[in-house]
Structure 1
Amino acid sequence: MGRLVPAVTRALDILELFLEADGPQSAPDVVRKLQLPRTTVHELLTTLAARSYLVPVPDQPGRYRLGVRAYQLGSRYAEQLDLAAEGQRVAREVAATCDETVHVAILEDTDVIYIAKVDSTHAVRMVSAAGRRLPAHCTAVGKMLLAALPEAELAARIEGRELDALTPGSITDPDALRTELAAIRERGTATEHRESNPDVSCVAAPVRDSSGRVVAALSVSVPMIRWTDSSETELAELATKGANDLSVGLGYRPRTR
């Protein structure tokens, strides 16, 4: 484990003062409460204010309150916390219906991160796990999320990068990936056949937030020994229903004619 950085620790100590404080804090307040050198406190306050974690209070010289950046971090945490909790709840419901493994994942750069997973009662080896990161182009959830990106954003993420393979079935050609993503946009679901795991296929559907933006994907994963054309259709419907239920839990309201 690496060592703690004293300057970062002190800056976080200052921010955490505002969790318990009743109002704005001044440099002398921070010096007294944290027993830090006055010069150090002034430098840290100036830095935090420059990054919008703190802002000076109008008409109260030398006093600070929390800034918009602190609010943005808190809001992002709340969004992810709600998504993970709701995702786990819906994943349990979907898994109870089909007794297959269900995942919920989000996109980060060119990878997916699994934020919820419910295992099948059947014995099957999975490369996924809650918190694990996998290349997006090798997974059904990842392809679903890539397909939802605006063209400029997609290009920025995949152009000029190597597409690594997890199995012999993984897509490694950018043009082939674009063709696959176009098909996904057309049908509204994504599939993966032995692309992240040589023994498993998956089908995924998009999860939307209250604004309608795709923020996650939900998938159902099935061993190849139980995968058929008819089961793919049934599981696509099940994944879509689960994704829609999760979207509603996040505040999404589908438009009606």
Structure 2
Amino acid sequence: MAINQSLAHGLNILLLYEASTPLFTVSEISKQLGYSQSKTYRLVRTLTQYDLLREENGTAQYTLGLNTLRLGLLAKGQFNLSSLAKPFMKELSLRTKETVLLTAVNGTRGVVLERVESEEPVRFSIFQPGVTLPLHCGASSKILMAHLPEEEWDHIISKEGLKRYTPHTLTEAESLKAHLRQIRKRGVAFSDQEVDRDVRAVAAPILDPNGELIAGVSIAGPLYRISRRRVGELSKLVMEYAQKISSQFRNESNIAARGGSTNIQRKRRV
């Protein structure tokens, strides 16, 4: 894929900033990056218009703007969410003896934020933190896609496609959309060998007080242990723990709003 040069040059300017170098003039940026003065000025002006840079009190020196702070806090909140959720995930894994995943939306894909692996000899042990996932299959991903605005579904499908991983993967757009609506209505997702053979999973959404998606928590394990009879029990548990994490997130956010020390920030997607 071709790189948008103007975008790349603008990002290069933002990446110049460090704690030790919080201020630059246009001339300094031009010299550091090898861009012409006129080009650098145009880029800095655009970044300033989007509040990614701001001029420091009429000094002709530029520092990072409020939108870079906002984005940084959102990114930091992602990692704080993992720390916040981990104790609940460990407890859920111990209760179920299965692997528990924390996932979130990353553009048009899902991403694994955290994982607590089952201690059973036979266990679901893939999907390390940082791995990205398709959103159209697997409980840990479908729970995310189901809670996105429906107008975003077509964009995700258009960009990512509906790859068939197993005979159980849904690959027809309208069938998938109907399935996602059912998931959203029930508040829980179930997958039966949709991404990996011999693996079943259930998942529930972690929502903010406004009902907007923060992340998803899921339980995954081998087919022979997650029987269809057990799915109901696991669904209740994953919904219970998703609610616990949501409540804890809300408490931490309230502390932050009152000026406390926590760095948890509300976010709709990663």
TM over 0.5: yes
Structure 2: 5+ residue runs without aligned partners? 1-8, 253-270
**Matches of 2:189 and 2:74, distance apart in 1:** 27
Partner of 2:257: none
Worse overlay, 168-177 or 204-213: 204-213
- Structure number with higher relative contact order (C-alpha < 8 Å, ≥ 6 residues apart): 2
- Quote the sequence identity (%): 25
Gap change, CA 1:143 and 1:27, over 3 Å in 2: closer
Out of 119, 122, 144, which is 1:121 matched to?
119
Matches within 5 A, 1:38-53: 44=40, 47-52=43-48, 53=52
Matches within 5 A, 1:8-87: 11=13, 14-16=16-18, 19-20=19-20, 26=25, 44=40, 47-52=43-48, 53-58=52-57, 60-87=58-85
Larger-Rg structure: 1
**Matches of 1:169 and 1:38, distance apart in 2:** 53
CA contact (8 A) 1:138 1:195 kept: yes
Gap change, CA 1:24 and 1:202, over 3 Å in 2: same
Q: Number of residues paired by the alignment?
A: 242
Deviation (angstroms), 1:188 = 0.9
**Matches of 1:204 and 1:164, distance apart in 2:** 21
Give the structure-2-normalised TM-score: 0.76
CA contact (8 A) 2:202 2:218 kept: yes
| 1:94 and 2:81 matched | no
Partner of 1:151: 150
| 1:137 and 2:131 matched | no
**Matches of 2:164 and 2:215, distance apart in 1:** 23
Gap change, CA 1:229 and 1:20, over 3 Å in 2: same
Gap change, CA 1:195 and 1:126, over 3 Å in 2: farther
Deviations 1:23-69 (A, max 9, x none): 866568x58xxx959986886576345213321234x2423332123
Structure 1: 5+ residue runs without aligned partners? 1-6
Deviation (angstroms), 1:206 = 0.3
Deviation (angstroms), 1:154 = 1.8
**Matches of 1:13 and 1:131, distance apart in 2:** 22
Secondary structure of the residue aligned to 1:166 is coil
Secondary structure of the residue aligned to 1:225 is coil
Deviation (angstroms), 1:108 = 2.5
Gap change, CA 1:159 and 1:14, over 3 Å in 2: closer
Runs of 4+ that moved beyond 4 A: 7-10, 23-28, 35-46
CA contact (8 A) 1:194 1:201 kept: yes
Give the structure-1-normalised TM-score: 0.80
**Matches of 1:37 and 1:130, distance apart in 2:** 34
Deviations 1:54-108 (A, max 9, x none): 21234x2423332123212212212211122223332112112221100011122
**Matches of 1:173 and 1:227, distance apart in 2:** 26
Partner of 1:4: none
Gap change, CA 1:136 and 1:126, over 3 Å in 2: farther
Out of 87, 105, 121, which is 2:103 matched to?
105
CA contact (8 A) 1:49 1:55 kept: no
